[in-house]
Structure 1
């Protein structure tokens, strides 16, 4: 029998859970909408051996082998690692998924390596996508979507090739293992990649809401490091959009084929307003 006291306790617990989620979601959107965040990107330019000028960036740019070079006009400068650069400058070689940020007036010029290619992405604070940002819609958080699971490491990390938001591009990640969990009466699994924090994990997935109420191509779930028994918590309330959900200037990876979940996960972030406007 549920008492009034039990009901009050459950309501308080839900209020606390919701407050923590709201803080997390606001912080996530604030980072996205930072003056030089992903919403400030004004273009995605693929570099090759032919020097070219690109909108929103100074100089002419080229890539030869594993290094990017810019040739600045006499009146143009960049600030790289705190030092002012003039004329011809060759950047240090970048690892896959690495980047360098150069400052140009109030903009940042991102030089990055994605899928074995060098790219240039100017980031301008006055870009309309950023200045008109209203925040990301999301399902109301609820503890039922924070489920426990178990992590099983592979004997050796498995190189896993996945597609990308840019047609023809491929990403390769080392998958250290898989996570198994139970949801809506189904035994489910996700192949996971390494997360940002040491020991943490990252799952890219789609589900039955994808393309309906959530972004069609992918969502991401960050998972804290497993405990000593391999236990993990998958809090789908914190399933997030990748940058490609907001802009076509992103090269986001797509989920492995086995990460297409057959259940409807009505939790986490939904299709951004920016994409729903595009579709109208």
Structure 2
């Protein structure tokens, strides 16, 4: 009969035994989810009656907190919020912006050697990935059915129009149905920033702020508004002009605006997982 293994030896051989399946810790769950989803919780520590301290979640990190202080950006947000939007079918989300398992954080891909043409990520998936793929598909399907979730809205003329099957809330007075611009849900395994980066790369066509011939959308301005993140393609010159509004500190800090780069680096390195960049 073999000798009984110690707890330390068992954990080395079977690491999953260290997980307490009965543990209920909302804060830990939030931070673990943030590693995949990207919705970073923020809050403060408060002392409880028993003398111990408890972290109270008061919200999540938002993008461009100073956006409303800038007149042009504030007007652009009002205009964007007035537009009709709807979520395309999951197959269309994959075709338009590559919102699928291969491009998500769930695949946990390392950075690959840079190739300007990018990589074909249609791969043979392991059996272990089946559950994650099914959960991602379910979350995107829920978004098409109107389930509330964080979504990214690209403000660009290249965004395709979508004709929903039964958009009851968007029926016209005569009973007809109007087309709506596509919006992109942040499904399981995605962060708002990751969705925005994919949407920018595959769909952005011109700077929102100017009509310069060289106004390539090298950046995207992210602006949070509730559960929606608005994404404004921005050229290099306009990025500097928008940021200069906050330079003197009178309208907010220099960190008041959040931009993402649209330089092709992520595409060229195989869309690595957020934590592996």
Report the TM-score when normalising by structure 2: 0.26
Structure with the largest fraction of strand: 1
Of structures 1 and 2, the one scoring higher in RCO (CA 8 A, sep 6+) is: 2
- TM-score when normalising by structure 1: 0.26
Could you say which structure has the higher helix fraction? 2
